[in-house]
Amino acid sequence: MATTPMMQQYQDAKDACGDALLLFRMGDFYELFFEDAKTAARVLGLTLTSRDKGENPIPMAGFPHHQLDSYLGKLVRAGLRVAVCEQVEDPKKATGLVRREVTRVVTAGTLTDDALLDPRESNYLAAVAPPTSKGNLESNEIGVAWAELSTGRFHAAVFPRAQLGDQLARIRPSECLVSEDAADLAPRGRELQVTRRPAWAFSLDGAKRLLTDHFRTASLEGFGFLDTDAPALRAAGAILDYLRETQKTSLSHFDRLVPYQSGTTLEIDEATRRSLELTRTIREGRREGSLLAVLDRTITPLGSRLLADWLASPLTDLDAIAARQDAVERFLRDDTLRRKLREHLHGVYDLERLLARVTTGRASPRDLSFVGQTLSRLPQLKELLASRPTTLLEELDSRLDPAPDLSSRLAASLSDDCPLSPRDGGFIRTGYSADLDQLRDLAAGGKQWIAAYQATQAQATGISNLKVSYNKVFGYFIEITNAQRDKTPAHYIRKQTIANAERYITEELKEYEEKVLTADERSKSLEYDLFVALREEVADSAHRLQATASALAQLDVLASLAELARQRGYCRPKVVAESVVTIVDGRHPVLDILEPAGAFVPNDTTIGGEGGSILLITGPNMAGKSTYIRQVALLTLLAQIGSFLPAKHAVVGAADRIFARVGASDELSRGQSTFMVEMTETARILNTATPRSLVILDEIGRGTSTYDGVSLAWAIVEHLHDRVGCRTLFATHYHELTDLASTLAGVRNLNVAVREWEDNVVFLHKIVEGSADKSYGIHVARLAGVPREVNERAKEILARLESEHLDPEGRPKIAGGKKSRGKVQLTLFAAYEHPLLDAIREVDVNSLTPLQALQMVQTWQSRLAREQ
């Protein structure tokens, strides 16, 4: 391998940054070598060239330095880790090889650059600490910590191992650290970068030392962590260790570690989040079309991210929910208040991320001016809130800190249109620093001085055409034509003779020249120092400004919920402790908005109380069963974030958990069979739902044969009814199940009305009492464009099947028989009619001799034997 000093420097940097791709700054370019070059060429579409064209050419690729942001983004999105190696001294001043250092390592979970982040989304780095061994036994408790470098949020908690997937689904980290010796804890997921760390990075002692050292506290109990939280601390330690290693900047904006209490929020497992499409759609995994995207009326990125947080962790505490509702109601009632508040929010920047860049020393002049502009909005905002109408608004108002000193200093120092780079200068206002103003005058006002100097010299010498000029070789000089040469004063120093004139300099002119030439440089360097001082001043206030940022975010979300409620005519739900749901004219929050106005048919819901807690919904394909049951789950969830609801009237019992299991139709291949996934998730619901939970099951049992499916669905409903007693909505095509309503007191049948008209079916989307009797699947198939012959043939087959399987009243034979549970189970199996049974039925026992009977049994046996 080539070992020029520079390539040696490259190799050292490469060795220091592990498996990261190394971007090596060379002049105006970032270059990649060897395998890195090949990878970058592939991912970024760069041209692969080579260095050292001799015997061992080194593959090489590169791009201009100003494209760093966009290329970093692409590399990180492709799941790569990238180290940036900068020139850390001025090449002009370097003696020999320019010093270079890896200044940061960029990974999916540690992005801070605005250009690389979606402002509406949080970007968490998570760590999972393996269970602590207790004697010979491994405990079941794992530690999870998550942090956001761009805002300084830092949380940790201990969870039962089985909850890992659900918790990560809630947090949605973009990168997760796992210990090398606990590879089985590595989460899977398309959008997640898994980073293996050495086992020692997760040690308890190391973590405690690192954390107490960082927070400058003696212990972590002050944050609310106890001995039993060891795994949480180990995970938090691993995060801090990783950030220190990769970031090489101050991490002082991580000013506390917040324990996460799971009991205070509505639990939503991973499958439920997915099927309810809370923040991503199922099919395309995109934000657009999700509940979050459709409801988001926030103005600031701060608000947008907080709304996502609220949807990810709705509340269970009735008082906390009511406090939010009060605030929303206040904003809803007072249109002027809401409008003005939102107007002010338009002038509020992403304070959280700005502050993080300030404390990590990455803020630009523009960032600082944005902090200033945001602060300047606060007095008016506080004035708006001054009437302090609700407890929550009053509290938020008290947390808005306009930091008047800092605010006026920023306003006085920074110009309106600040640049991104602090080195270019020109962003400090005139009048802020006398020294700076002088330097700038000097740098820019040279012409005036020269003109004045020329005039005085012309007068003093009596040479009227004396000229002061400038060129690159001699700098400033005085030019006197040959005709006037005699009048040249003695102190003029001759520099150059040209065709018809002589050129001179003077001491004064030389001195001035020196000042002018360095003025520009000196003014830029002074500006930089002033900027750094300002940045440090903001950093000193970071802590209280973080509180301001969080209050702004909440105000934004509350006002946005009010805006939504006003736009769409939402009502304030009564959120109660009992396990009930009463909704009048409820609408699906997403379809209500996405469908054309008036297209969505509102529906009522009553669960709990007299009517029972389990609703079985049957009805034709395309009728709206799935929509209806999701609607109930979504409205419950929205009520628990403090939102108003798309309904005329609503009473919602706060749920402790919401489970949504959508049938086999939308299987996601995850290394298990479709049906296995469905049953695993169902098992979890049956085992973990409580009487306060809300369960929606859509077509459970569809992934297997009809009889298996019906039997399972039947038993599941029975279990939920007898053992769990939770609110349940069960949408199904198994009309057989509707018989459950007559055997189980808490089960009620609903169906979706349709009207048959000639050979057509009209979907009314209206939920009505009672069970449906047909599925109209063949009709829907025709709507979908299945060829006519197939459709006609299906109708023939259906007719034949129905004649075999329906009793004279048109009800499935399977559900017939007496209404005792044992009998029902038996009749399920009677459906496997064997032809022999008919033979048995036809036998006239009275006319049979014993010998004939024996012979008959023998024939049956041999017939059965043949069939096997």
Return the DSSP state at 596: P
CB 330 within 8 A of CB 389: yes
- Non-local (6+) Cβ contacts of 555 within 8 A are 303, 341, 345, 381, 385, 393, 396
Give the nearer residue to Mg ion in terms of CB position, either 709 or 816.
Answer: 709
- Show the site string, 762-801: x = touches ligand ATP by CB under 6 A, - = not: ---x------------------------------------
**Rounded to the nearest 5°, which phi and psi values hold at 188?**
-115, 150
- Show the site string, 558-597: x = touches ligand ATP by CB under 6 A, - = not: ---------------------------------x------
Give the nearer residue to ligand ATP in terms of CB position, either 362 or 774.
Answer: 774
Q: Does 600 participate in binding ligand ATP (rule CB under 6 A)? A: yes
Q: Which amino acid belongs to residue 253?
A: H
Q: Which does 761 bind (CB under 5 to 8 A by kind): Mg ion, ligand ATP, none?
A: none
Closest CB 600 distance from ligand ATP, rounded Å: 4
Judged by CB under 6 A, the number of residues near ligand ATP is 14
Give the nearer residue to Mg ion in terms of CB position, either 398 or 665.
Answer: 665
Q: Of 427-435, 495-503, 529-537, 620-628, which part binds Mg ion (CB under 5 A)?
A: 620-628
Give the nearer residue to ligand ATP in terms of CB position, either 120 or 748.
Answer: 748
Give the nearer residue to Mg ion in terms of CB position, either 302 or 629.
Answer: 629
Closest CB 626 distance from Mg ion, rounded Å: 3
Q: Hey, which residues between 613 and 652 contact ligand ATP (CB under 6 A)?
A: 619, 621-627
Closest CB 584 distance from ligand ATP, rounded Å: 14
Give the nearer residue to ligand ATP in terms of CB position, either 524 or 630.
Answer: 630
Of 654, 745, 749, 639, give the one whose Cα is nearest residue 693. 654
Closest CB 335 distance from ligand ATP, rounded Å: 30
Closest CB 312 distance from ligand ATP, rounded Å: 25
Give the nearer residue to ligand ATP in terms of CB position, either 36 or 678.
Answer: 678
Closest CB 658 distance from ligand ATP, rounded Å: 18
Closest CB 620 distance from Mg ion, rounded Å: 10
Q: Which amino acid belongs to residue 129?
A: A
- Non-local (6+) Cβ contacts of 210 within 8 A are 237, 240, 241, 244
The CA-atom distances, in angstroms, between 468 and each of 226, 477, 664, 687, 702 are 79, 6, 88, 93, 94
What is the 3 state secondary structure string of 649-716? EEEEECCCEEEEEECHHHCCCCCCCHHHHHHHHHHHHHHHCCCCCEEEEECCCCCCCHHHHHHHHHHH
Give the nearer residue to ligand ATP in terms of CB position, either 493 or 591.
Answer: 591
CB 296 within 8 A of CB 561: no
Q: Which does 627 bind (CB under 5 to 8 A by kind): ligand ATP, Mg ion, none?
A: ligand ATP
- The first and second tokens of residue 635, run together, are 């409205």
Give the nearer residue to Mg ion in terms of CB position, either 608 or 777.
Answer: 777
Q: Which does 32 bind (CB under 5 to 8 A by kind): ligand ATP, Mg ion, none?
A: none
Q: Which does 373 bind (CB under 5 to 8 A by kind): Mg ion, ligand ATP, none?
A: none
Q: Is 773 helix (H, G, I), strand (E, B) or coil?
A: coil
> In whole angstroms, what is the distance from residue 340 CA to residue 380 CA?
10
Q: Does 281 participate in binding ligand ATP (rule CB under 6 A)? A: no
Q: What is the DSSP string of 120-188?
A: TS---EEEEEPPPEETTEEPSEEEEEEEETTTTEEEEEEEEGGGHHHHHHHH--SEEEEEGGGGGG---
Q: Which does 651 bind (CB under 5 to 8 A by kind): Mg ion, ligand ATP, none?
A: none
CB 703 within 8 A of CB 674: yes
Q: Are strands 82-87 and 21-26 parallel, antiparallel or unpaired?
A: parallel
> In whole angstroms, what is the distance from residue 714 CA to residue 738 CA?
10
Q: Which does 612 bind (CB under 5 to 8 A by kind): Mg ion, ligand ATP, none?
A: none
Q: Is 820 helix (H, G, I), strand (E, B) or coil?
A: coil
**Rounded to the nearest 5°, which phi and psi values hold at 444?**
-100, -35
Of 287, 344, 337, give the one whose Cα is nearest residue 311. 287
Closest CB 694 distance from ligand ATP, rounded Å: 18
Residue nearest to ligand ATP (CB): 624
- Non-local (6+) Cβ contacts of 197 within 8 A are 127, 177, 178, 179, 180, 238, 241, 242
Closest CB 738 distance from Mg ion, rounded Å: 17
Give the nearer residue to ligand ATP in terms of CB position, either 44 or 591.
Answer: 591
Q: Which does 601 bind (CB under 5 to 8 A by kind): ligand ATP, Mg ion, none?
A: ligand ATP
Q: Of 303-311, 408-416, 618-626, 650-658, which part binds Mg ion (CB under 5 A)?
A: 618-626
Give the nearer residue to Mg ion in terms of CB position, either 176 or 731.
Answer: 731
- Sheet architecture: strand order including 467-471: 467-471, 475-481, 501-505, 493-498
Q: Does 626 participate in binding Mg ion (rule CB under 5 A)? A: yes
CB 135 within 8 A of CB 229: no
Q: Of 26-34, 432-440, 622-630, 841-849, which part binds Mg ion (CB under 5 A)?
A: 622-630
- Sheet architecture: strand order including 614-618: 267-268, 657-662, 694-698, 727-731, 614-618, 747-757, 760-769
Q: Which of 40, 601, 615, 696 binds ligand ATP (CB under 6 A)?
A: 601
Q: Hey, which residues between 98 and 157 contact ligand ATP (CB under 6 A)?
A: none
Closest CB 765 distance from ligand ATP, rounded Å: 3
Return the DSSP state at 645: B
Q: Which residue has the tokens 């019992």?
A: 653
Give the nearer residue to ligand ATP in terms of CB position, either 305 or 765.
Answer: 765
CB 582 within 8 A of CB 636: no
Closest CB 665 distance from Mg ion, rounded Å: 8
Give the nearer residue to ligand ATP in terms of CB position, either 656 or 667.
Answer: 667
Q: Which does 303 bind (CB under 5 to 8 A by kind): ligand ATP, Mg ion, none?
A: none
Q: Which amino acid belongs to residue 266?
A: L
Closest CB 591 distance from ligand ATP, rounded Å: 5
Closest CB 290 distance from Mg ion, rounded Å: 19
Q: Which does 621 bind (CB under 5 to 8 A by kind): ligand ATP, Mg ion, none?
A: ligand ATP
Judged by CB under 5 A, the number of residues near Mg ion is 1
Q: Of 212-220, 495-503, 599-607, 795-803, which part binds ligand ATP (CB under 6 A)?
A: 599-607
Give the nearer residue to Mg ion in terms of CB position, either 36 or 698.
Answer: 698
CB 781 within 8 A of CB 788: no
> In whole angstroms, what is the distance from residue 267 CA to residue 166 CA?
9
Q: Which does 600 bind (CB under 5 to 8 A by kind): Mg ion, ligand ATP, none?
A: ligand ATP
Query: CA Rg, the chain, in Å?
Result: 38
Give the nearer residue to Mg ion in terms of CB position, either 457 or 626.
Answer: 626
CB 314 within 8 A of CB 266: yes
Q: Is 63 helix (H, G, I), strand (E, B) or coil?
A: strand
Q: Is 829 helix (H, G, I), strand (E, B) or coil?
A: helix
Closest CB 286 distance from ligand ATP, rounded Å: 19
Give the nearer residue to Mg ion in terms of CB position, either 145 or 629.
Answer: 629
Of 714, 741, 733, 717, give the one whose Cα is nearest residue 663. 733
Closest CB 570 distance from ligand ATP, rounded Å: 17
Give the nearer residue to ligand ATP in terms of CB position, either 330 or 735.
Answer: 735
Q: Which does 155 bind (CB under 5 to 8 A by kind): Mg ion, ligand ATP, none?
A: none
Contact residues: ligand ATP, CB under 6 A:
591, 599-601, 603, 619, 621-627, 765
Contact residues: Mg ion, CB under 5 A:
626
